[in-house]
Amino acid sequence: MAVTGEASGSLASKMSPSFKMVSKYFISSIAFFLALNVLLVLEYNKIQGHYFQPLLLALVHITTLGWITMIIFGAMFQLVPVVLEVKLFSEALGEIQFWIYLIGVIGLVTAFWNFDTGLHMAVSASLLVLSILIFIFNIGASMVKVKKWNLTGVYLIAALFYLFSTAAAGIMMTINLGYPFIQGDHLQYLKLHVDVAFIGWVLIVIMGVSYKLIPMFSLSHGYSQKSALWAFILVNTGLLGITTVMHYKNVSYAYYFFVILIAIGIMFFLHQVYLILKSRLRKKFDIGMKHTIIAFSILFLDTILGLILVMVNFSDITVELNLALLYGFMSLIGFFSILTVGQLYKILPFLVWYHKFSSKVGKEPVPLLKEMFNEKYARAELYFLVTGFTGGAVGIVLAIDLLRLIAFVLLLIGSLIFAYNMFSIYTSKGKPIPVSPAAVKASAGSKSIGQGNY
């Protein structure tokens, strides 16, 4: 495998699946993002205390399953055929999976919200697992046909493994809430479930896809990919390590060692991003890349916070719980959400343009990508999201209800602006056909003559 990167390729090709199918995932994920921010405003005074409580479980799962994973599914359906040069095994399975998954997400979130640990939760979790298995089979069957592998493809294979592990652990824990059968500490397994989901599934997908998208968007060439390889080795070794040692007693030092490996691996990833951006030809950062850089900066801080939570023995349980909530808030809202919003400003305009206007090039005027949404609104949205995130983080640590309310309102405003821009992209129309001044003058003259004759 080559270790020198180049910006190449596109977001769409003849291998791409139906945009109608992919759009279902994008539109639904945006709707879940809006719902999340509405709920944060409505429940602002309850975002505190221990993380294992019905409200927080519901909010976390609407974020991870409805907002983040839904959009990853859509992105992978679009990118895997392009990046790995292979046709998606079955678009029909993608359609079937969507509806099963959507019902499962809504069912599980409402089950957590009401803390209905019986049949409602078990059936919802089962639907989610079924849809995830369909997805893994669909992508896996597509990957079997790959002739030329690259680094992004290797990352995505690892991510599929962790997605399966996350789903398996998730259904066991949901069933265990209503019908206890797991021996050992449920919260310990919950922490492992969170680590595998956040780092093994979501972060590894983001890492792998970033090696494709960031060079493409920034026009980067000739950078070394050694940091990306080290990131893959260290993060996977650390994850597999903590998954193994958590089953044994008196292995805290081994656990610390593997956690440190994960943190170092994330730092190698961020260094790889730095190398890609350093070699870019497009020097000016657009609004999508500004989101991305802010999100990766938050990831750096969140990684440090995660190490502190693991290594430090807090004497005040309230401080530890507040920092644990902060860690989750930084991961889900600060990193994952701001990054996803930024990448959609890059991905969605191109996909809509490709499917609506590419066939019209040279025949009639078509919009530029940057003309498909309001960039001033996007800049305002970024300010709202970053300010809301910052205020929410402080409000969570200091347990200030009013600050959390103000911050969550700002996040909601930012998400509404974002949704409006996404709507504008989907409803973009071609430019009116320009008319030359000579034609206008001739047209005016003909009108006046016609009027005189009449």
Per-residue b or e along 303-320, where b marks 16 or more CB atoms closer than 10 Å to that residue's CB: bebbeeebeeeeeeeeee
pLDDT in tens, 361-409: 877 888 888 889 999 999 999 999 999 999 999 999 999 999 999 999 9
Bigger pLDDT: 51 or 149? 149
Is residue 176 very low, low, confident or very high in pLDDT (cuts 50, 70, 90)?
confident
pLDDT, tens digit (0-9, with 9 covering 90-100), for 319-374: 999 999 999 999 999 999 999 999 999 999 988 888 888 778 877 888 888 889 99
Task: Please report the pLDDT score of residue 453 as a whole number.
Answer: 35
Q: What is the amino acid identity at position 212?
A: K
pLDDT, position 178: 76
The pLDDT-based confidence of 75 (bands split at 50, 70, 90) is very high
Per-residue pLDDT for 42 more than 80? yes
Number of domains in the chain: 1
What is the pLDDT, as a whole number, of residue 98? 97
- pTM for this entry: 0.89
Domain that holds residue 361: 4-428
**CATH number of the structural domain spanning residue 278:** 1.20.210.10
CA–CA gap between residue 35 and residue 7 (Å, rounded): 36
State both tokens at 72.
């990853």
299 within domain boundaries: yes
Looking at the domain assignment, is residue 423 inside a domain? yes
Q: Which helix (H) or strand (E) holds 198?
A: none
Q: What is the DSSP string of 135-193?
A: HHHHHHHHHTT-SS--HHHHHHHHHHHHHHHHHHHHHHHHHHHHS----S-HHHHHHHH
**Nearest CA among 61, 288, 51, 329 for reference residue 170:** 61
Question: 3-state class of 422 per DSSP?
Answer: helix
pLDDT at 448: 36
Establish if 136 belongs to a structural domain.
yes
**In this structure, is the dihedral angle defined by the CA atoms of residues 80, 84, 90 and 93, taken in order, positive or negative?**
negative
Instruction: For residue 167, give Cα distances in angstroms to 67, 80, 128, 133, 183.
Output: 17, 21, 8, 9, 19
In degrees and rounded to multiples of 5, residue 54 shows phi and psi of -55, -45
Residue 251 DSSP symbol: -
Does residue 59 have a pLDDT over 70? yes
Supply the pLDDT for residue 30.
97
Is there a domain that residue 279 lies in? yes
User: Is residue 339 domain-resident?
Assistant: yes
Residue 92 counted as domain residue = yes
Mean pLDDT of the chain: 88
d(CA 381, CA 414): 4
pLDDT digits (tens, 9 = 90+) for 79-131: 999 888 899 999 999 999 999 999 999 999 999 999 888 889 999 999 999 99
- Residue 2 confidence (pLDDT) above 50: no
* Amino acid 371: pLDDT: 86
In a domain, 441, yes or no: no
User: Does the pLDDT at position 5 exceed 60?
Assistant: no
- Using an 8 Å Cβ cutoff, are 261 and 238 in contact? yes
Task: Read off the pLDDT of residues 225-281 as tens digits, 9 standing for 90 and up.
Answer: 999 999 999 999 999 999 888 777 777 788 899 999 999 999 999 999 999 999 998
Q: Confidence class of residue 4 from pLDDT cuts 50, 70 and 90?
A: very low
In a domain, 447, yes or no: no
